[in-house]
Every structure is written in structure tokens, then in C-alpha cells.
Amino acid sequence: MSPSQSLLSKSNSNIKIPNDSFNMAYVIYFTLGAGFLLPWNTFITAVDYFDYLYPDARIDRVFAVVYMLVGLACLLLIVPFAHRTNDSVRINTGLALFVLSLLMVPVMDVVYIKGRMGLYSGYYVTVVAVGLSGVADALVQGGITGSAGELSGRYMQAVVAGTAASGVLVSILRIVTKAIFAQDGQGLRRSANLYFSVSIVVMGVCIVFYNIADRLPIIKYYKDLKIEAVKEDKIDEEAGLLSGSLLRKTLWDIVGTVKWYGFGIVLIYIVSLSIFPGYITEDVHSEILRDWYPVLLITGYNVFDLVGKFLTAIYILESSKVAVGGCIARWLFYPLFLLCLHGPKFLQTEIPVTVLTCLLGLTNGYFTSVLMIKATKTVQIQHAQTTGIVLVLFLVIGLAVGSVVAWIWVI
């Protein structure tokens, strides 16, 4: 056993882990998980508003490529220097950028667009806002995931469940606004402004929650363990005890440790993003449900994604190989969804498409949660922050590749 492992064992045996009173820490991490994906969900859920303003633009697929590629580029810059920077500064900066990107759309609507169609300078500003949100996501998501990785697995589950909850929240808002607002230019403006207003409020709550989290006894307990482990690392390093030791993990050491978990995460999001939302919103149609069809499919995906991420609180796969195998098996969704476009007539109806969409969400949520929880427990606590960022890098690689594949896989 290494010196740092001995230290952590000693700390755990001599100090009782504080209770999470009123599940406050869980609620905070759940809210933060919802918060860093809410801007993305807001942009893609307001797609009918943007389609109305800019009818000649491929909104969903353009937004996906810009958001994911910008986020990926920023993460590639952040990862090598993550251990040298203050995670609190990164996260607070990212949360502030989220607020700024979300403000750009309603402010532009009020002072410039005013519901008028075809003002494509507004479209380019909106794309910039999406890119800025991608920068914010790179700053926030890795930091929050790493922070949760320093705690028990329960809090990683809270973060990943929160990411699904953001999709459900926006889907509910979409259904409500579609039901109560007229589906004309004015109604679409009102619904879009509601999405962005709710998201801005939630981001404000996230800023408050993040900055009070460290005051909770259970969070302080784990932070103190990390500080002690880092101090022990420095003592060992000065004594020359860490030469060649796993305790001095470089970035490549961490990547090597979690590479199979990361591989599974990449596979999950290549499949998911190449189908959702582009295929759902543009390729399948219903004469019965008409424009409600994509709204209900998106809601079904998001609800089952949330269910999948909550399932790990009940049961989590013990075998990492089985989990990665499940991620590989999800590639079967491609031929199945293609059959819903070009196969027998009964497969082109609403029920098969809806069932497949819900299964896509369920497996996305469950396998993401399993891999994120298990991966962060394969490294020592002092490396959890960097590990979280590395895992998010894998995730964003999957999202970026999936957003590109979404343009070409449907024949």
C-alpha cells in the first residue's frame, strides 16, 4: 500500500463520515448536473423559433457541430493544465459565460430581431452564442464531474442524473408552451424567451449552489482527504519515494487507467448524438401527431435518459467489460432506425420509432452513469479532478463525432 493510500485509510478509520443533512449535497450536485447541460437543451429545444426566423438554415445539426467542436477544442486546451489551475475559478468563469450566452438570444430578440424573419446576421450571432456556451461547458462540466469524483459514487450519480433532468425540464416547458402559446411568430417568441429565462434563473441558482457547497460538512470531509493526500504526495516526492510510482500519475497515466471507460463513453455518444436530435426532428414524420411528433419523441428520449441515470442508484453493473460491451451493442440502433425509414410499413409507424427512441435514451443514461461512476473510482482522490476532465473529454469527443456523423449516416 502506498503512503497516500495509507493516509486515506487512516483518515477514513479515525474520522466518521458526516451525514448529508437533508441530502443537500446530493441536491447541489444534481442541480449542477442539470445546470451545465440546460443551456444546450435550451438552444436545441427552441429550434422551432430559430427555424421560423431562419428558414434556410440547418439549425439542429449546425448547433450540434458548433457546440461540440468548440467544447472539444477548449477541453483539449484545458486538460494539460487542469492540475495547475484553480477549479473554482474555471467553474465560476464557465457559469458566468453560460449566463452571458443565454442572455444574448432574448436581448437580441428585444432590441434587434423583434420577430422578423430572414435577418441572418441574427443567426450568426446566435451561432456565436452557441459556441460561447460550448466554451462554458468545457470549463464547467469537467470541473463538476471531477469534483463529484472526489466524493462517493452517490454524487457522481447525482451529476449524471441532473444532466438528464435538464432535458426533461426543457421538454416539459416545450410541451406547455406549445399547448398554451399560438404557433405563430409571436407565440414562438414567447416560448423561446421563456426557455432562456428559466435557464438563466437556473444558472444563477447553480452559481449560488456551487459557491456554498464547500461549506457543507460532507464536502469539507472529502476535500480535507484530498488536501492530506496531496500533502503526502509532496512529502513523498521530496523524499524521492515516488519515482516510477503510480501515485505520481501523469496525464497519460490517468488516460491509460480510464481508457476503456472512456472508449465506452465515446461509443455511447457517437450513437446517441448521430440519431438524437437530428434524426428525431428532421427525418421521421407523423400524419397523426404532425408537429407534436418530434416534441413527444424528444420528451420520451429525455425521460428515459433520466430513468436510466437513476437506475444506477438501485443497481450498477459490476463488470466493466459487460458495460463496454453494452455500449458496443448500441450500434444496433443504426440498422433499427434505418428500418424505421426504409423498412416495412409497420416499422415506419409511430410506435416502433417511439419505442426505439425511448430505448436509445434509457441505454444512454444507464451506461453513461455506470461508466462515469466506476471510472472515477479507479484513481486516487487527488487525481479525481483531472480524471473528471479526461472523462468529459472522452464524452465530448463522442458528441463531436456523433454531431458530424448525424449529417451523413441517414441514407
d(CA 83, CA 283): 44
| The predicted structure's pLDDT at residue 235 | 62
**In terms of Cα–Cα distance, which of 15, 39, 1 is closest to 203?**
39
pLDDT band of residue 64 (cuts 50, 70, 90) is confident
CB neighbours of residue 289 within 10 Å: 14
Grid coordinates in use for 374?
466506476
Taking residues 113-142, report their average pLDDT: 93
| The predicted structure's pLDDT at residue 304 | 97
d(CA 346, CA 352): 8
| The predicted structure's pLDDT at residue 46 | 85
- Torsion-angle region of 344 (φ positive above 0: left; ψ -120 to 50: alpha; else: beta): beta
- Please give the model's pTM, rounded to 2 decimal places: 0.85
Taking residues 86-112, report their average pLDDT: 94
Grid coordinates in use for 288?
397523426
| The predicted structure's pLDDT at residue 269 | 95
The least confident of 32-36, 98-102, 183-187, 366-370 is 183-187
Express each pLDDT in 287-333 by its tens digit.
Answer: 899 888 988 998 999 999 999 999 999 999 989 999 999 999 999 99
Grid coordinates in use for 271?
450513437
d(CA 242, CA 254): 16
The least confident of 217-221, 224-228, 399-403 is 224-228
**In terms of Cα–Cα distance, which of 309, 44, 306, 29 is closest to 170?**
44
More confident residue, 233 or 1: 233
| The predicted structure's pLDDT at residue 247 | 42
Q: Dihedrals φ, ψ of 11, to 5°?
A: -65, -40
The most confident of the ranges 172-176, 325-329, 348-352 is 325-329
CA dihedral over 126, 130, 133, 135, signed as positive or negative? negative
| The predicted structure's pLDDT at residue 6 | 43
d(CA 57, CA 55): 6
Domains of the chain: 21-215+249-405 (1.20.1250.20)
d(CA 66, CA 64): 6
pLDDT band of residue 410 (cuts 50, 70, 90) is low
Q: Dihedrals φ, ψ of 86, to 5°?
A: -85, 115
SS3 readout for the chain: CCHHHHHHHHHHHHCCCCCCHHHHHHHHHHHHHHHHHHHHHHHHHCHHHHHHHCCCCCHHHHHHHHHHHHHHHHHHHHHHHHHHCCHHHHHHHHHHHHHHHHHHHHHHHHHHHCCCCCCHHHHHHHHHHHHHHHHHHHHHHHHHHHHHHCCCHHHHHHHHHHHHHHHHHHHHHHHHHHHHCCCCHHHHHHHHHHHHHHHHHHHHHHHHHHHHHCCCHHHHHHHHHHHHHHHHHHHHHHCCCCCCCCCCCCHHHHHHHHHHHHHHHHHHHHHHHHHCCHHHHHCCCCCCCCCHHHHHHHHHHHHHHHHHHHHCCCCCCCCHHHHHHHHHHHHHHHHHHHHHHHCCHHHHCHHHHHHHHHHHHHHHHHHHHHHHHHHHCCCCHHHHHHHHHHHHHHHHHHHHHHHHHCCCCCC
Q: Are 66 and 130 in contact (CB under 8 A)?
A: yes
**In terms of Cα–Cα distance, which of 297, 283, 256 is closest to 386?**
256
The least confident of 1-15, 71-85, 150-164, 233-247 is 1-15
Work out the mean pLDDT of the chain and round it to a whole number: 87
> pLDDT at residue 246 above 60?
no
Taking residues 23-45, report their average pLDDT: 93
| The predicted structure's pLDDT at residue 243 | 47
> pLDDT at residue 1 above 50?
no
User: How deeply is 391 buried, as exposed, middle or buried, from its count of CB atoms within 10 A (0-12, 13-18, 19+)?
Assistant: buried
Taking residues 71-90, report their average pLDDT: 86
Q: At what angle do helices 59-78 and 24-45 cross, to 10 degrees?
A: 130
The least confident of 18-27, 187-196, 399-408 is 399-408
Taking residues 70-77, report their average pLDDT: 90
| Long-range residue pairs from 290-294, CB within 8 A, at least 24 positions apart, any chain | 291/48, 291/183, 292/178, 293/350
Taking residues 381-399, report their average pLDDT: 87
CB neighbours of residue 313 within 10 Å: 14
The least confident of 82-86, 119-123, 143-147, 200-204 is 82-86
